[in-house]
Every structure is written in structure tokens, then in C-alpha cells.
Structure 1
């Protein structure tokens, strides 16, 4: 409506009067809407000034004269409006391009498509206004302005109502994140954009760990508060990076990360996970990790990903892999260590035994699974024969089985252990040996269970063995076990980074650890990190 008035002023009174009307209306609007930043008011005034000046110059070039409406110069009115229209589209489109990036051509094309009908209406209204003013029909002019104001107000209210309804439909009211249906819609858009522009894109599926246990303990209203609290944590981390976060359903969430590779996504999600672990919330002490925790699966988009359901399914599989590793961890689809098929039966059998840790000490269960993964890789690095490969892999999985005998209050103690408590902890290697020897099937694993705390310099336990007195596979396990212990996260505690842990291994090479095997392990970790970074 304001454009109709500005153009009518140009056609009747000339550019000077039109700019004066613009100035007055801009001042009134600035006083009315003080919430808008001053530079935005100035930007709007500048854009309108350029549009009015351009339209006026065009009108004059094509024979239009300020004053009475002349049907002979209809083309001048039309061309003036076209210039006004395209100037607006270019300037506003460029502004949005600078603000939100993207492709300038696509932004301008969208503006042209959406605004064409509105500007055709603007031309007709401006000509009607010119005729009414020229004919001196004061009552007609009053009716025009009254109808214009009412229509403007009605459209503004309808637009506001539409936005509010759209926002409600697109938002999950409990968490403040986007809804599942809107996530599905946006995932298609992000995938198409990534395919067309050859951009990186990752999808993360997240599931709150043990949410049912919390719900059962405190009731659904408190469970809903936990969901809202977690949703806010996700929102705080995602909004600054313009990531798309949604509640997928129940206690499951999803995040679309445009521009993120697998590794960049994992780094971001691990940071979110650690922040979640370290953020207190009422009653989370009943949960196995003693804090809010989640498991997550990541899948990167590839050009051969033909459908969003394929992307979601792969991210879900990675999520359930993270769950199987003891929860509170992040897995990338397709990057898990491959389990030797010939050992699958034995591995599954031992896993059933160590799953008891899930109810007593979830950290030991997760530690055993990670040490097992490292052992699978190190068996390849060291080119072990079939017998030694079996011993190292199975021994890594079961090496801490003796901790089942340690009292729960000692195992989960957060303060420093007393000397008496430490002596009890040290007995886990002997208790582990006794558990393994219950059946003859795994008795060849006893050295890895009993001796994995021996040191290369002879200062370990239980026997104080040193150097080659310690079996070679045990020396390998000792390095893997220590590395993972150094990099294991616990709530409210700082954790060593991989680089810091590698420096510690180098520093203790020749004292606590076999120097030759440390070299192999450090090189393996560094090679793995560099290959992931490519």
C-alpha cells in the first residue's frame, strides 16, 4: 500500500514530493516501532529512496509528466513500475544474500516469483489513486485510503496468524525444537541442496539414555521437564551454528548439520554430550551414569544416498550401535571395528558375562568394549597369527571381569580411595583369574586377565614382573587399557585428549610400557586420526 502512494505521488507531484512523503512516513514508523534497530530503519529509507528515484527518472524518460493521468502514457506508468519492482527485488535480494548467504540468483528468482502479483496490484492501485486525486473526488479518495488501510491491517493480521499457526505446526511445544514432520520436510531440502552444490551434510540421531527409568522414578510431569531441559541444551548449541534440531519422537532427537563431515559432526556431538553430562538436573543420580546422558549415531550424506529414509536408517543403526556399547557414546555409521567372524560365538558368549557390569558399573562395561575395539585393530597392526589374534581380542573383552567382585560403593566411589580400598581394587586381577578358570574353555586368557597391570619396569602388580617376563600380548593390552582409561569421560571431570594421552604414553615408554609396542600403538592412533581428517 505504501508503494502505491509513493508511485502516485511521483506520477502527480514529482519525485521531490514523493521523497518528502517517504521521509515523513519513515519518521512516524521509526517512532512507532522502536524495537527495530536504527540501521534497519535507515536501510529501508535508502532502499525506498533508490526505488522512487529510479521509477521517477524512468517515468520521465518515457514521456510521462507529473500531473493529470494520461492513458497515452500508460506504457510510461508500466515501465516505471517495472523499474521500481526490479530495483526492489535486486536490493532486497542482495540484502538477504549478505545476511543468509546462499546463491544470489536463487534468492532473486524466489523474490520475482513471489512478488510479481503484488507489484501488479501496486501499479493498478497507484493509477486508481492518481485518477481519484486528479478528478478531485475527495470522498472517493477517502474511500480508497480507508479501504487501503483496512486491507493492509487485515493482510497484516492474516499474515501474523499464518506465521503463528505455521510456527505451532512446525515446533514441538514441549522442547521448543522443530517437529518431526517439519524435520522430514527440511531433510529433503538439505539433501537436495547438498546434492546440487556438492556440499557436506551429516545427520545425527540422538536418544536420551535410560529415560524410562527416570520417568518411572519421578513420573511423567518430571520426565517432560527433563525433555524440555535437554531440548534447551540442544537449542543453545545448535542455534549459533544455524543447525536444524528437531524432536524426532519420545526421547529421540535429530540434528541436521549442513557443511559438516562425519568427523566434524562427531566432534560437535561429543561436545554437546559432555556438556549434557556436566549439566546438573534434579534426580539424575538414579541413572546408571549418574547424569543426563545420550547415545548418538551419525551418518554423512553421499551423492548415492537416494532417499532420506536411507540416511535416517543408517544414522539409527549407528545410534543402536552406540547403545550396545554401553550408552553415552557417539558412533559413526560404518566405522566400527569389524568383528572376526570366526570369533563371533566366543565374543557373544563373553559379552553376556560382562553385561552384568551394566547394572553395577557401566563405565567398566564401556571400557571393556572400547579396549576390545582397539585390540581388533592392533591385531591387524601387529600382524598377529590366528591364535594370538584370538587371545588378544577375547582377553581385551574380558580383562576386567574380576571387578564384578569389588563392592559397588568402592567401584563407584567419586572421591580418592583409601589404602585399604585400593588393595581391594588391586585384587580384581586375581578374582578375574578365578572366574575365567571356572571353565576350561577360556583358561588360555588367564595371563591377559591376571597380568594386565604389570609394568615394564617391574613396579606393577600382582607379581612385579618386568620386561619380557610379561607376555607380549599382555604388554599390548597394558598400553591399550591405560590409553582408554586416560581418555574415558566421567561427568564433572576433565578428560585427557587423545593427543595428551599419546604424550603420556611416550613419557612412560620404557618405564610403564614396552617402548617398541608404544611406538606401534601411537602410530596406529595417529594414522587413524589423520585418515579421518582427510
Structure 2
């Protein structure tokens, strides 16, 4: 053995592990030690590379004394397994140790793929047996970065193989210096990237994250917590009487107050996994993953009291004579399908807190958030005006919307588990649920006969178009799930997203039944009309597949009690 080369290789691996290459945006670090191991494997074979690995492991044991012994053994075992598997793969695919063949790279690529696959599989198994959730294995972004890193590893291992074959000592020295310099360059690049990223993602006045970054983080956390079935809570905070403070003390002092309050929030979330942001103006938000709403309430109520006891110049002249905020809290529910619903609920809870006299923390409670009857009537009138557009384009859709509205009005009033707010939302959603058909061409809407495939695809888009139309007015945000999701099926075979079971919001599941019942019992040119009894039998047959079985049974009972006697009387007459 060439012991000088062995010591140089061990020194090179040590340096490459100390000076790892950092990649934005996640600041993931990877070492080029695998490139050295693979190059040794390709040039000198399995025995030599395992001896180098063993000596380096002893060196690592000395300079990483804080790491537990079992972790050292685990790392050594992983490398042994990866290198042995890569070696035998290389041999099986006719690779020639010590003879670099640039005209046949297949053995090199195959051995790298095996090396990479075993690495990922063993790390996932490690986290699995540790009882943790290895989210990195589920993150496609991390896997893409790993693929790029290992592709670079293969290229560099081939470069080092050539250098070892041509200029053994000097080649290894040159390679090590080059990678070390690259490590410094990438580290500097990452620092510049993070500096630019912070300026783009941070609010310059308060130092907290800004609105845009917070919305993106909320979407990611919402998706992750929904998939992993973990709680996610959102809180909105609004500084009380900030306008009065501004009017009395001036906008510059108002900006100082916002900066001061931002620092209080930063200090409050230190050491937690919470994300605090300035949402806009004097409104702030805190996102709390893996936190139930009761724990969030306790946390924010403590913070409210601390803020009350913290003096800031000029607050003695506002109504509470101290610094205070109102707060609304909402927790993600299992039938929510997008993060905007969580925002809407937290926003409603915040307004409720302000209506209770400010300087308090309120949990979202649908029983306390019912709409005012006068406002309900105003919303109803506004939506009826929109539905009337169908009179000139598609009278069938107009009449269908009015009938489904009537079913929602009557059936909703008999569902004892619905709050006033939910009942009113169901009624308004039923009236406007097909508004997106305004965008469907007239010749498709009024076609006599079955639709072609491309025509059906256009019709299916009416739920998305309807959402876009109604989303223009913030006061109708509660109706968006009903408009967009009333064609989702309980078995997950509906559209537009293929949601399944309780992933579909409750009111959308109810509206699906009402909408389908009217479609079945109304005369159409391209399908036979069913009697009420036949339609009810169809709903019973499809309960659990197309329809929510609980609400399907309740609707069937409702129709048989209130509509079938009238239908039978009409037939007798």
C-alpha cells in the first residue's frame, strides 16, 4: 500500500467534511467526500477504499468526540454498505477497476444510482425507527437538490479518477484545494442570497416577515399539517386605537410604536416554531403549527397581559391608557380545503374581539359569528341580481338556481346541527352556486343532446369561473367552497380537485345532494326525468359514493315527509 496516498486521501476527506458546500434556498449542505470515495473505488478497488474509510472514521472519532459512538458506527456502516453495493454494481455492468473508460459511462452512472438510492433509503429508515417524521423524504424540492448534488459528485469523482491516474499526489492536492475554494465561494453566495431574501421577505419597519412571505408560509404549513393530520392555528392581532394614537402623536411616533410592538412579537416567538408577521398596517399575524387553539389562546392571552404592562410613550392618552391589542384565533378544521378559509375565520374572530370592547382574545366560534339578518337580506338581494343575468342567456340555469335555493332554505332550517351562520351560507351558496355558467358559451348551455368531451370539459370549468366571479367581493368569501366544490363526490371521483369524504366542506356536501336532486327531477333534453321517488332511490343508492351518507339519509327523509305527499296529491288531481 502507498501509505502517503492513504494519509493524503484521509486528509482530503477530512477537509471536505469541514468545508461543506452550502446550497440556497434551504441552506442544505453536502460534502464532496463521496466523490473521493467513488474515485478511489474506480481507480483502486473496494479493499483500498474500505481501508481509507476505516482510517478516516478513526480520525472523525477524535475530532467529533461529542457525537455518540453508535452514530459513528451507524455512519461507518452506511458508507460500507453504499460503497460495497456501488462496487459490485460497477463490476456487474462491466466496469474496469483502474482503467477509466470515458466511452462507456454506464457502469459509473449505475454505481452512483445504487450509492444514492441506498443512502436515501437508509436515512428514511433511520428516521422511521426513531419514531420521527422524515419530511425531507416527502419534499420533492429536497430530493431534486440531492439529485443535483449527486450528479455533481459523479462528475467530480470522474475528474479525480483522471487526476489520480495521471498525477497521483499533485492531482489529489489540486482537487482538494479546488473544492475547498468552492466551499468558500458557495458560502459567500448563500450569505448574499439570504441577505437579498431577507430584504424581500422582511417588513423593513418592524423586522417581522411581510405579508407575501407569510401567505406563502401559511400555504406550505397548511398543506403539510393537513397531510400529516397535525393541528395548525392562526392568530390575527390588531393594535387597539392605533389611529387615535397616530392622530395625537404623529405618524413618525406611530411608526416607532409599530417597530416597538414588532420587537415584542419577535421576542414572544423566540424558541418556538411560530411565524410572526406584519400582515398590513397595524395588523399582525402569528402562525402556530402543531398547536391547538386552546394552547394558542393561553399563549396570546399571556402576551396580551405582558403588552398591557409594557409602557410606551403616549399610550396614556388613548382609551385603555396602555398598549393593547385585540386578537382573533382560528384552528384548521378537517374539512377546510385551502388556507384562505383559515384566514377568513381568524379575521372573523378578530372582528368579534373588537366588537367585544377590544383588548381581548377570542377563539373563532361559528355559533357567535352568525350574520345579521339585515345584512343577510342585503346579500340575498345582491346575489339575486347576479342570478337574473341567466334570464337572457339560460333560463334553465336561472330556474334551477331558484329551486335549489328553495330546497336549501327549507332543508337547512330543519337541520338542527347547522348554526345560523351555516344555514345562511348554505342558502346564499345554493342561490349562486352555478354563477360560473355565465362564462359557458350559449350554444353549449342550450345544446339539444349529449355534450361532446371537449364541451363537457368547458362546462366543468364553471365552478372555477364562479369562484373567480364571487371572490371579487370579500363579503362573499364564505360562499367560495360551495361554488367551487359542489361537484366533488364523497368517493373522491368528482371535480375540480377530486376531494374525498370529509375533505369536502360540510355545506358543499349538502349542496351536492340538493343540486343533484333537482337535476334528476327536472326535464332536460338529453336525459330522462326522474320522479321524486326515483330520484330518492338514486340518492340512497349513491350514498357513500357520490353523496355524504349522513346528509343523504336526512334529505331523503325530509323529501318523503314534506314533498312526496304533495306530489301524490298532484298526480291524483
TM-score, normalization: structure 2? 0.49
1:148 to 179, 182, 200: 179
In structure 2, the residue matched to 1:487 is none
In structure 2, the residue matched to 1:322 is 353
Q: 1:67 to 1:24 in 2, by over 3 A?
A: farther
In structure 2, the residue matched to 1:16 is 51
1:296 matched to 2:327 = yes
In structure 1, the residue matched to 2:80 is 53
C-alpha distance in 1 between matches for 2:317 and 2:271: 32
Contact 2:89 2:107 in 1 (8 A): yes
In structure 1, the residue matched to 2:297 is 266
Structure 1 runs not aligned, ≥5 long: 31-36, 343-534
Q: Which whole-Å deviations, capped at 9, do the CAs of 1:312-334 have from their partners, x for residues lacking one?
A: 23322322222222210123333
- Deviation of 1:276 after TM superposition, in Å, equals 1.5
- Deviation of 1:295 after TM superposition, in Å, equals 0.6
- Deviation of 1:129 after TM superposition, in Å, equals 0.9
Q: 1:118 to 1:271 in 2, by over 3 A?
A: same
Contact 1:188 1:308 in 2 (8 A): yes
Q: 1:251 to 1:151 in 2, by over 3 A?
A: same
Instruction: Kindly report which structure 2 residues correspond to 1:214-293, keeping only aligned pairs within 5 A, or say none.
Output: 214-293=245-324
Contact 2:239 2:324 in 1 (8 A): yes
- Deviation of 1:132 after TM superposition, in Å, equals 1.8
Contact 2:78 2:122 in 1 (8 A): no
Instruction: Kindly report which structure 2 residues correspond to 1:98-497, keeping only aligned pairs within 5 A, or say none.
Output: 101-103=132-134, 106-107=137-138, 111-136=142-167, 144-333=175-364, 334-336=366-368
Residue 329 of structure 2 aligns to a residue whose secondary structure is: strand
- Deviation of 1:166 after TM superposition, in Å, equals 2.0
- Deviation of 1:42 after TM superposition, in Å, equals 8.3
- Deviation of 1:203 after TM superposition, in Å, equals 2.0
C-alpha distance in 1 between matches for 2:249 and 2:125: 53
- Deviation of 1:142 after TM superposition, in Å, equals 5.9
Contact 1:243 1:256 in 2 (8 A): yes
C-alpha distance in 2 between matches for 1:321 and 1:4: 60
Alignment size in residue pairs = 334
C-alpha distance in 2 between matches for 1:337 and 1:112: 44
Q: 1:83 to 1:296 in 2, by over 3 A?
A: same
Contact 1:93 1:111 in 2 (8 A): no
Q: Which whole-Å deviations, capped at 9, do the CAs of 1:193-231 have from their partners, x for residues lacking one?
A: 343344333321110112233334444444333323322
Q: 1:42 to 1:80 in 2, by over 3 A?
A: farther
In structure 2, the residue matched to 1:68 is 98
C-alpha distance in 2 between matches for 1:278 and 1:97: 46
1:86 matched to 2:113 = no
- Deviation of 1:162 after TM superposition, in Å, equals 1.8
Residue 331 of structure 1 aligns to a residue whose secondary structure is: strand
In structure 1, the residue matched to 2:479 is none
C-alpha distance in 1 between matches for 2:162 and 2:345: 65
Contact 2:124 2:137 in 1 (8 A): no
C-alpha distance in 2 between matches for 1:42 and 1:106: 26
In structure 2, the residue matched to 1:455 is none
C-alpha distance in 1 between matches for 2:214 and 2:202: 10
Give RMSD over aligned pairs. Answer: 4.0
Contact 1:322 1:329 in 2 (8 A): yes
TM-score, normalization: structure 1? 0.53
Residue 14 of structure 1 aligns to a residue whose secondary structure is: helix
Contact 1:171 1:177 in 2 (8 A): yes
